[in-house]
Every structure is written in C-alpha cells, then in structure tokens.
Amino acid sequence: MALTFVEVVSHPLGAIGVLLVALIVLTALMAPVIVPYNPTAISVKERLADPSLTHLLGTDQLGRDLLSRVIVGTRTAMTVALTSLAVALAIALPLGMIAGYGPRWLDALFILLFDSISSLPMIMLGLAVVVLLGPGVSTVILVIVLYSVPSYARLVRTQTLSLKTRDFIKAEQAMNAGTMRILFRHVLPNVVGPLLILACLDISTVITLEAGLSFLGLGVKPQIPSWGNILSDGFSVIRNSPVPVIAGGVPLILATIGFTFFGEALRDALDPRLNPERKP
C-alpha cells in the first residue's frame, strides 16, 4: 500500500490529484467546524454582495454566504458519491461473479438486465425515479446506483469469466471445492482491485451527475446546499452577478480534475500492463 501511494504521488498529475482529493475530503469532513456562516441563513440586505473580507465568495440572490454553501455542498457531493458507489459496488460484485461463474442461461439473463438498464437515458431514468419517489438525496443515490451497477457488474463478469478458465480454478474444481469457496477465496480477491480503480475513476462522474440532476431540479432539494443547487440559483441571476455561478462551478471542476488524475495514477500504479516494473 505504501509503495502504491509513492508511485501515485511520484507522477506529477497523480500528486495534483492526491492534493485536490485530500482538500475535498478534508473540507467535507470538517464542514461543520470550518463553515463561517449558516449556509441557509437569508439576509436580504446583503443579496448578491461581491466577494469581500466578510463574505470571501460573496452572497447569492437571497444573501446566503456562498463560501458556507460551497463547503456544505462539498459534504453533500461526497456523501452522495461515496454512498451511491458503495451501494453500487455491493450490488454489482455478487451479480457480476454469479453471471460470470454461473450457467450460461443465468449469464444471458443478467446481461439482458444490465443492457436494459444501460439503454435508458440518464435524464429519463432520473425523471422516472423522481416522479415515483420525489426529489431528495436518497433519490439521487438510487438513480446513480441504477446507472452504475450495470457497468461494474459487467467488469466483474468479464474478470470472472477470465479467471474461470485459469489453472488454479480448475484445480479447485477438480478437488470438488464448493462454488462459494472458489468465488470468495479465489475470484473475489482478483476482481476487487480493478473494480475499485474503476469506482475511483467514476467518483468525478458521479459528482457531476449529482450536480446535473440537482441543477435540473431532479436531485437534492433546493434548500439543501449542493454545487448543483448553487449553479442553478446562480444561472437565474447571472446577468446581475456571475459570482454564484463561478462559486458553484469551480469546486465541481476541481473535484473532476482531482479524482480523474488520482484514479488514472492509481490505475497506472496497480495495472502491471501499464507499469512494467510491477510484477503481475
């Protein structure tokens, strides 16, 4: 693990990614402590104030402190991203292993299910879920889980199919080892690594999805600070002040850059095909 971290930070883009990810994660964890104002407190007298020593990022159209809303929005983004990805991985991992190791008819059934979900446009899927459940954090998490499970399950299925023909699996089968033993002792350790790398790369995508759904009114409720809600509020008054849009957009850009750079550097460090110095 220490060697992997050294390999990640030794790459310039990886070091930038680690720095940005650490900044975002620490901001999310420390949000209740470092937030300077109540992010939902309205002050009509200070509406659309320019950045100053009192309000470092200015205020929005209701006089709410933008820095406070960005900080709490970081917590919202990370909560939604990590929760939804954890649930998606927990569902996709067993489904992918069963599809790859099970009989062909079961594999075909799972592939049909994955393809059916993947064929749905993201916005249409979000609209359908919002109509059924209403907007909210749990709704966003459900949409992201439904969107993410097929791609993760396909990866696990592909890895499982490849491992299924390996000599050590055939040796276990020849010794009449149980299916559960083979899956959890031999298949699981070999598929977790690539799956976690893909999930790390997808964090930026998930954060963007959450912001996009919230921007369209399909995600986090307007009263909850989130980067998407900040952008949505900012675009409604962009002719009066561009500051709210900038305040909501810059963290989203930094998060995308940070998690993308970190995920790619982690992939390069762990994948023996991309890192010749690491033995398979």
Q: Mind listing the pLDDT tens digit for each residue in 163-219?
A: 887 877 778 777 777 777 778 877 888 888 888 888 888 898 899 888 888 888 878
The whole-angstrom separation of Cα 245 and Cα 230 is 7
Specify the pLDDT at position 186.
77
- pLDDT tens figures, 88-124: 999 999 999 888 888 888 888 988 888 888 887 777 7
Cα three-residue angle 203-207-213, rounded to 5 degrees: 140
pLDDT at 276 (0 to 100): 47
pLDDT tens track for 262-272: 888 888 777 65
- The pLDDT tens digits for 208-247 are 888 888 888 878 888 889 999 999 989 888 888 899 999 9
* Domains annotated on the chain, with CATH: 2-40+55-270 (1.10.3720.10)
Structure confidence at residue 271 (pLDDT): 62
CB-count exposure of residue 52 (10 Å: 0-12, 13-18, 19+): exposed
Task: Tell me the pLDDT of the chain averaged across its residues.
Answer: 85
pLDDT value for 279: 44
Going by C-alpha positions, the residue among 174, 249, 165, 257 that lies closest to residue 212 is 249
Distance (Å, whole) CA 34 – CA 116: 44
- Output the pLDDT for position 90: 93
